[in-house]
Amino acid sequence: MRALPTLVQMTPTERLIGCYRLDPSAMVGAVETGKSLSASVGAATANRARGARAPSVATAPAARAEFADARLPTLVRLDTARVALGLAVLRSPGDSAIGAWSIVRDSALVDLGTRGVVRLGVTQKVSCPEP
């Protein structure tokens, strides 16, 4: 017996949600501690327009460093929860929000703040670990 084709079409968001293994070599746009990628790009553009050099960024206080985990997670989950810059990127296993993602054509553009930016496609999806 043949399976009947489904009439329900998945949205791009539904196709992309799930878990992905991150490859550190695929990361682009890593920025200095204490600045997000969008803030870095905006500041660089404004400074270039004025012809001024960007001021150096002070390092984060030592007290803050113990709470911030700047390491790149190996497994992330793209979620449908809304955050300021799009949809939530969660550390997996766990549920700590570590960034935002948005749809660009047929893939997800994942902004992990100071950790960098990566583009993920449906073909890179892996099974999520049990909580």
Q: How does strand 18-21 pair with strand 75-83?
A: antiparallel
Contact between residue 91 and residue 98 where contact means Cβ atoms under 8 Å apart: yes
Task: Give the span between the Cα atoms of 55 and 88, in whole angstroms.
Answer: 31
Q: What is the pLDDT of residue 28?
A: 78
Write the pLDDT tens digit of every residue in 74-122: 899 999 999 988 999 999 888 889 999 999 989 999 999 888 899 999 9
More confident residue, 30 or 27: 27
Q: What is the pLDDT of residue 122?
A: 92
Neighbouring residues of 60: CB distance < 8 A, sequence distance ≥ 6: 33, 34, 68
Write the pLDDT tens digit of every residue in 93-106: 888 899 999 999 89
Q: Is residue 79 part of a domain?
A: yes
Could you tell me the residue range of the domain that residue 33 belongs to?
Answer: 18-47+71-126
Task: Give the span between the Cα atoms of 124 and 41, in whole angstroms.
Answer: 27
Q: Is residue 66 part of a domain?
A: no
Task: Give the span between the Cα atoms of 57 and 123, in whole angstroms.
Answer: 38
Total domain count, the chain: 1
